[in-house]
Structure 1
Amino acid sequence: MYLISVTKSLQALGVHDIDTDYNNYKHHTDSYALRYNYERNFQNDFPEHLLDDFETNLVRQMAEFDPVKEIRGAKSLLETFRARQISFCFATGALPKPAMLKLEQCDLWYDPSILATSKTHESREGFVQDAIERAKAFYQKDQFDQIISVGDGVWDLKTAQNLSLDFVGIGKRNQKKLIEHGAKKKHCFDDLLAFKESLF
């Protein structure tokens, strides 16, 4: 659903020769998808103002589909973190408006102050580091004793490895691939409820 929205949003901006093999992109982010496809179509530098148009159009395209569904246990996990005053933040390759729409569709609590997106960083390492800095400011911490990156894709694992972060894999679909690429089996869970139960 989301990748179809990305493709349609690119087309709405006049980009028609689109590389839809999104999983093999250098960066798995909305902002990179726009710049990469724009520049390969027009052989011109990407104009920054198009990012806002792309972001707005993405939300419009998403409205054509059913709302996204919460990953089992997400709401419960966040509520537990908040109740126990455990610091957390959000890092996503999406742009802010689509990311917030998905959080709202799942009825998940968030604060824009701890939402890091590809609006400011094309690379996953960039916005994950941004998320950490945002969390330090939001929770008024100089540093964290441990930082755990939670994700469902191999690119999430590689980002955590590149930044020397602990990693937790979520979901059955990519579990085997995650373990093959270095994730610890005991740190891979079918959903966020199982992850929560391992913690508390």
Structure 2
Amino acid sequence: MKDTLYIFDIDGTLTDSVPMYLISVTKAMQALGIVDIDTDYNNYKHHTDSYALRYNYERNFNKSVPKDLLDKFEDNLISAMNDFDPVKEISGAKELIDRFRGDNIPFCFATGALPKPALQKLNQCDIWCDERLLATSKTHESREGFVKDAIERAKSFYDKTDFVNIVSLGDGLWDLKTAQNLSLDFVGIGDKNKRKLIDNGATQCYPNLVEFIKELF
């Protein structure tokens, strides 16, 4: 396993945070004066914070997003999240990350969220994260973009030129499609989208990370 890199999505894969976070995204945009918001987030071209902001800003104001607005949006997200109770982990998430660290198994994080909200969710669940292993939509609007960024970050962090195998873990159809587009192995987590994942080619799906730990170790 030490020659395999595991890439973790965060929302819905490591943290039980999807409903809260979607509400926070909407509130964070409203705080910027964006009133006409398309909340059908599942049907977005990119399931990322940076795309959500650009798409809704442009459709409201018919102009490009100011350069500093993404930072303001990120801070607004933190404020909106603080109105909710701390999120809880997906069962087994902390244990799995701790075991990977203890066994020197390479892993990294790739999330459509922005860095501050991503770190807050992980911290609330006491899940270890080094920011050098965290790739987000702050720099890449597309999921393929920040997953590739995560791989490069892992190569640098673990001082490797390449990995024999790369496994992406996620809960959404977009996670699966990204893995397929990049020719990565995929493991589905959670039951909510299990049927969709299997129908679209996923061969490994687990209800939570406890069951994945049993299979892996």
**Alignment correspondent of 2:145:** 126
Structure number with higher helix proportion: 1
Cα distance, 1:141 vs. partner? 0.4
Q: Which residue of 2 aligns with 1:71?
A: 90
How many equivalent residue pairs?
A: 198
Q: Please report the TM-score for the alignment, with normalisation by the length of structure 1.
A: 0.98
Q: CA deviation at 1:105?
A: 0.4
1:1-150 aligned within 5 A? 1-150=20-169
Displacement of 1:48 after TM fit?
1.8
Structure scoring higher RCO (CA < 8 A, sep ≥ 6) equals: 2
Q: Quick check: which one's strand share is greater? A: 2
Question: Is 1:194 aligned to residue 203 of structure 2?
Answer: no
Given the alignment, which residue of 171, 185, 188 partners 2:190? 171
Q: Deviations over 1:86-138 (max 9, x none)?
A: 00000000000000000000000000000000000000000000000000000
Tell me the amino acid that sits aligned with residue 22 of structure 1. Y
Quick one: distance in 2 between partners of 1:167 and 1:197?
Answer: 17
**Deviation for aligned residue 1:83:** 1.0
Deviation at 1:46, TM superposition (A): 1.2
**Structure 1: which 5+ residue stretches go unaligned?**
none
| Structure 1 segments of 4+ aligned residues over 6 angstroms from their partners | none
Q: Distance in 2 between matches of 1:138 and 1:88?
A: 10
Post-superposition shift, 1:47?
1.1
Query: What is the CA-CA distance between 1:32 and the residue it aligns to?
Result: 0.3
Distance 1:41 1:118 in 2: 21
Question: How big is each residue's C-alpha offset from its partner over 1:61-94, in whole Å with a ceiling of 9 and x where there is no partner?
Answer: 0000011110000011011111111000000000
